[in-house]
Amino acid sequence: MPDATRHEHPPDPFYIAATAQLMERAARVLKAADTFGVFDVKGDIVTAEHAAEGIFHEDTRYLSEFRMRIAGGDFLLLGSTVSEEATLAVDFTNPDVMRQGRVAVPRELLHVLRTKRLEPGLCRETLRFHNYGAERLQLPLSFSFAADFRDIFEVRGMTRVRRGEHHPDRVEHNGVVLAYTGLDGRRRETVLRFDPAPRRIGGGTAQFQIDLGPGEDSTLEIEIRCGAAGAARAGAARHAVKRHTAWITSDNALFNEWVARSRADIDMLVTETPQGPYPYAGIPWFSTAFGRDGLIAAYLGLWVDPELAKGVLAYLAARQATEVDPAIDAQPGKILHEVRNGEMAALREVPFGLYYGSIDSTPLFVMLAAAYWERTGDVEFVRALWPNIEAALHWIDRYGDLDGDGFLEYARESENGLVNQGWKDSNDSVFHEDGELAEPPIALVEVQAYAYAAKMGAVRLARALGRTLDAQRFFAEAMELRVRFERAFWCEELGSYALALDGQKRRCCVRASNAGHALLCGIASKDRAQRVAAGLMDDAGFSGWGIRTVAAGMARYNPMSYHNGSIWPHDNALIGIGLGRYDLKGDLMRVLSGMFDATVAIELHRLPELFCGFPRRPAFGPISYPVACSPQAWASATVFALVGACLGVAFDAERREVQFRRPVLPSFINELCVHDLRLGDASVDVLFRRHISDVAVNVVRRTGEIGIVVTS
């Protein structure tokens, strides 16, 4: 066996250090546009250098410490939650206050309600105090604060040789200004304001005195502003147009909580751009526009929220590459990977200011465009987008195929770019059966499936626009790709498609979840799709919670790894759609049930970016991954994709029909209702009831011209 260590890639400079577990302090997360906050369960920021807590704005941490204390100690926590309206609410009471070895103030006399809400560039906090005691309460209250102005990549663990200049704090009567000038020449300020003004402020501390008679109340308002830009943008963002989305209810209260949390998290992650709404990828590490993440999140939720897909397509079209630039892995027609606005991106210390190192964003762009048209019939938007679609298809043929063999491959050009450029982009995620890492150019199995789906989607779009010859050409190219794919990627000994082809066209014969994306896109033959599904759903592939990224027993399998044995909800959702496509509804319901059971055990019923792939154990929940983002947009969209696949939902905009193909419901749901499902200017509410052998479908409300077709 070859020594795999001889073929390790250089250390990943963008590796996210796990010196502290992100979730071990029960993080509470808020976001508004390019501002997000990660707080502990008490609403405090008590952070180490590389911990994720803080208030971040445009990829910079503007507040790295903000801790509330009473009489020199901590409050007693009563409860903490983030509402569906993205407000953090925390209830406290006072501890026993000791003086000279005796209890001077008994606990549980003072109630404090702390609420936090973010606006772009701004955090508003309100503290409401009430004395439930029979005597006057006089207690000191203090806040410690600091701003390290670290770039998000520094917080993730990167080391910088030089940093900018921290300025002395500027103390004012009701607050303080913390400031830093970066090496990019930008001055960044954090402005703290208190109302009423503190008794003393300075040296990183603001001090107050609580003085309440029996039954009395008082309020303290705190405003934390991140730079001058925050004030200008805050008002505009509040007037963003609310999207029209369908919503789902059932007779299972826990399932309803999962749906509601997922919807609320997507709404929180969505940022209004000049082109429309865009879901930022995840908090804390990826709170920005990612091409792949935005496209997949929009695709997963398309049937309930088509306006999000339109915003994603328009945003990415506006930033489609137009020239060759090796420093950012760009070529004409390519769709971006990532956008960053921080100091390190501005200085090119990281290449991600506007970075195109993604092999799959471009075919996914065409896939989503076709799916959006099928969902809405919005031919005018497609017509306006057609030049971008043509440019993307040209990139697939001209630049994406590095050696002319008809497959999409990647090999980074940027010295500082990503080594692996599929969705599994960690350095060790593409390897052979003996563990040897694959050398570029690398052709991933799922990327060929996306390219096939892009070509087939282009056929439908071209026909809709009357471009018959283009449609014929795209169809011929798709059929040719399908034949080559089956010949090159199938591994009979695995009963699955290879993870990838390496630069020597050797198959990476590894059982991995990537092969399940061939079912999503329809490139797999029926018999091989069934064999792939069987492997994904056996004990090595399916943990009981979900499908692993790499099957147990494979080389490099590690259930605690980022991509080599962990479980990613969005990956399961895409595979779930594929299972539904091939009418493998029993396997699909196992995936949905596993994901649902996971949410029951996870705080806030929120699926994280990923969790560990250990086998499911009775009476225990899934094991968390140390630095997983939560919330994550495509994880939040998982429930909508899996439910849509179970219902077999499809649309025929020309006929004004919504179709439900062989609908099924899992055992934990007896009734499910889809409310306000829209097609054009019409809408419908549809009720599904599970029976022993089938699911009954009833229209309970209809507005406008819209038909319902059920096939069994």
Alpha-carbon gap, residue 678 to 306, rounded angstroms? 9
How many alpha carbons fall within 13 Å on the CB side of residue 247? Answer: 14
Contacts of 138 (CB under 8 A, 6+ apart): 209, 210, 211
Q: Is 354 helix (H, G, I), strand (E, B) or coil?
A: strand
- Measured from the Cβ of residue 202, the count of other Cβ atoms closer than 10 Å reads 11
Would you state the pLDDT for residue 627? 87
CA atoms within 13 A on the CB side of 528: 22
The alpha carbons of the chain give a radius of gyration, in whole angstroms, of 27
Residue 1 pLDDT > 50: no
Q: Are 281 and 287 in contact (CB under 8 A)?
A: yes
Q: What pLDDT, on a 0 to 100 scale, did the predictor assign at position 84?
A: 77
Q: Are strands 165-172 and 490-491 parallel, antiparallel or unpaired?
A: unpaired
DSSP character string of 137-173:
EEEEEEEEEE----BHHHHTT---S---EEEEEEEET
User: Does the pLDDT value for residue 237 go beyond 60?
Assistant: no
The string of pLDDT tens digits covering residues 428-481 is 999 999 999 999 999 999 999 999 999 999 999 999 999 999 999 999 999 999
Question: Do the Cβ atoms of 221 and 125 come closer than 8 Å?
Answer: yes
Average pLDDT value for residue range 538-558: 98
Q: Over range 107-124, report the average pLDDT.
A: 96
Per residue in 485-542, pLDDT (tens digit) is: 999 999 999 999 999 999 999 999 999 999 999 999 999 999 999 999 999 999 999 9
What is the per-residue pLDDT for 231? 42
86 φψ region: left (φ > 0), alpha (ψ -120 to 50), beta (else): left
Average pLDDT over residues 193-199: 97
Domains of the chain by range and CATH? 28-237 (2.70.98.40), 247-647 (1.50.10.10), 657-711 (no CATH)
Classify residue 9 by burial, with Cβ atoms within 10 Å: 0-12, 13-18, 19+.
Answer: middle
Which whole number is the average pLDDT over 104-118? 95
Kindly indicate the confidence band of residue 10, based on its pLDDT and cuts at 50, 70 and 90.
Answer: low
pTM attached to this predicted model: 0.94
Asked whether the predicted pLDDT for residue 15 surpasses 70, the reply is no
Task: Inform me whether the pLDDT recorded for 123 exceeds 80.
Answer: yes
As to burial, measured by CB atoms within 10 angstroms (0-12 exposed, 13-18 middle, 19+ buried), residue 22 is: buried
pLDDT tens digits for range 576-618: 999 999 999 999 999 999 999 999 999 889 999 999 999 999 9
* pLDDT value for 47: 72
122 with 35: CB under 8 angstroms?
yes
Of 539 and 239, which is predicted with more confidence?
Answer: 539
For the residues of 80-125, what is the DSSP string, one character each?
EEE-TTS-EEEEEE--PEEETTEEEE-SSSEEEEEEEEEETTEEEE
The predicted structure's pLDDT at residue 26: 59
Lowest-confidence range among 239-248, 283-292, 390-399?
239-248
Cα 437 to the center of its chain, rounded Å: 28
Confidence of residue 50 (pLDDT cuts 50, 70, 90): low
Buried b (16+ CB within 10 A) or exposed e, 253-288: eebbbbbbbbbbbbbbbbbbeebbbbbbbbbbbbbb
What's the pLDDT at 603? 87
- Each residue's pLDDT tens digit, 615-672: 999 989 999 998 899 999 999 999 999 999 999 999 999 999 999 999 999 999 999 9
Report pLDDT digits (tens) over 305-335: 999 999 999 999 999 999 999 999 999 999 9
Distance between CA atoms of residues 295 and 273, nearest Å: 15
* SS3 call for 19: coil
Q: What pLDDT was estimated at residue 11? A: 60
271-312 tens-digit pLDDT: 999 999 999 999 999 999 999 999 999 999 999 999 999 999
- Per-residue pLDDT of 207-228, as tens digits, reads 999 999 999 999 999 999 998 5
